Amino acid sequence: MARKSWIALVGAFALVTVGVTYIMGLWITPPDVFQGNLVRLIYVHPAVAWVAYLAYGVTSLASLAYLWKKTRNYKWDLLAASSAEVGVVFTALTLITGSIWGRPTWGVWWTWDARLTTTALLLVLYLGYLALRRVSEDREQRAKRSAVAALIAFIDVPIVHQSVVWWKTLHQSATVFNADLNPKIHGEMAWTLLLGFLSFTVVYVWMVIKRYDIARTQFKLEDQTVERAIKERVGTI
Amino acid sequence: MLKAAKVIALKDLRIELRSRVVLNQILPFVVVVLIIFAFAFSKYPTLLVTVAPGLYWVATLFSSLLALQRSFSLETENGAKDALILYGLDPAGIYVGKVFAVLVEMVVLEVFLTLGIVLLYSVHLHELVDLAFTGLIGTLGILAVGVTFSAMTSASKAKETILPLLLLPVVAPVLLSGTKAWENEIAGKAGLGDPWVGLLILFAAAFLSLGTLTFGSVLEE
């Protein structure tokens, strides 16, 4: 199958799984004993948070691949940038959905809890990364510098997390991936939760492919512009 | 590497001794910051004693931004950075030299900052050795990552705005750990065995290693 059809298929799959998550989350699953309908955010919030972490993981790996001389290729740089951009969108979604849940549950839109603070810092950290990508005009310089910045962010995240975890924390502990791997959620609620993870991951994959294609087209366009300019100059001599 | 570091550090410190930008401009800035904080808390002056550790680290962070920008604006004039690369100096040496030179300048600033806190905010400081070590290691952490970011952004048009955006979120753990460590030390609750000091050491070590390894990639044009 051609590449384009594959991408369309991934897109269609993402749309369908998100649609099913939507229906399951809003209508099929029951409200929670304690949280009532608020629990329905659980089908979205942890899933988008996971995608944000996944996106930054991909950015870090791709940046490492670019910095390592044996695998140095602009493809890695473009992939790192595309994934970081999608990651920023999902981090913002994580904060927004978390706030919507936090207001009725904790009574506040925002609290200085460990995970909230880490996530907010993560957002500004990668906004900085994206801003840095815009200031360098030279392609190689941009790729190298943003790869180093991505590595700095990657090393920083666990330290940021550790430092804010030492504040007393309000956030729930992990529901699915807790230490003894014994999920506290069962039945159709658990399935919907897992479906949420799957559907948003597929959305992420589709968005990164699309963003990567745009980045690659821009890259080629820059090359062509330079070539055309050279031809015009040489032609006039 | 150490030879290159020594050359760069001595060069930067000599320039500072002759131009006195840090002493004549950044030091007054630190004093202004201390006064402005006092305005912010004017309703509850006793609160200044409680929040002094945090204010110390915020002031340190802001002044290190200025010192870092100064350190690399030296290299953008007359293509000095290109000359540095052409001399064939070890990039890791340039990095260490820059970190060391700015660290010396920051230590001078922080001595005055501490004096300011004692005099203006009436904070009683004990355990001066612990406080000084915590201040030194935290500042080293800020500069370890700050020098890398300044080198990346010094030649760009948006250097004044992009450096704070990049640096502040990354050094957030230093601000948090430094403040907590100072609070504990002032309260006499913990010395250098405090986990917060451990986190500062970890931060500085991690970013010094990364900076030394990657400065070559950052410096190349």
Chain B residue whose CA is closest to A120: B169
User: Which stretch of A84-98, B7-21, B49-63 has the lowest confidence by average pLDDT?
Assistant: B7-21
Q: Band of the pLDDT at B1, cuts 50, 70, 90?
A: confident
A166 belongs to a structural domain = yes
Give the A window 118-177 contacts with B, CB below 8 Å: 121, 124-125, 127-129, 131-132, 135-136, 138, 141, 144-145, 147-149, 151-153, 155-156, 159-160, 162-164, 166
Contact B170 A125 (CB under 8 A): yes
Residue spans per domain, chain B: 2-219
- State residue A237's pLDDT score: 57
Q: Which residue has the tokens 């004693």?
A: B49
Say if CB B49 and CB B121 are below 8 A apart. Answer: yes
A212 belongs to a structural domain = yes
A73 belongs to a structural domain = yes
Q: Average of pLDDT values for A115-139?
A: 89
Nearest to A121 among B162, B169, B206 (CB): B169
How far does the CA of residue B19 sit from the closest CA of chain A (Å)?
30
Contact A145 B210 (CB under 8 A): no
Q: Band of the pLDDT at A30, cuts 50, 70, 90?
A: confident
CB pairs under 8 A between A and B: 81
The residue segments making up the domain with residue A194 are 13-171+179-236
Chain B residue whose CA is closest to A131: B162
Nearest to A131 among B162, B177, B220 (CB): B162
**Domain count along chain A:** 1
- State residue A233's pLDDT score: 84
Amino acid identity, position A190: A
Identify the residue among A135, A139, A151 best suited for mutation to test binding to B, counting B beta carbons within 10 A and taking the highest: A135
A7 belongs to a structural domain = no
Q: For residues B101 and B70, what is the distance between their CA atoms, to the nearest angstrom?
A: 11
- State residue A24's pLDDT score: 85
B47-76 and B27-40 helices, crossing angle to 10° = 150
Q: Which residue has the tokens 């290693």?
A: B209
Name the token pair of A142.
């941009």
A2 belongs to a structural domain = no
A4 belongs to a structural domain = no
Q: Chain A partners of B91 at a C-beta cutoff of 8 Å?
A: none
B159-170 and B172-186 helices, crossing angle to 10° = 60
Q: Band of the pLDDT at A180, cuts 50, 70, 90?
A: low
More confident residue, B109 or B1: B109
Contact A148 B217 (CB under 8 A): yes
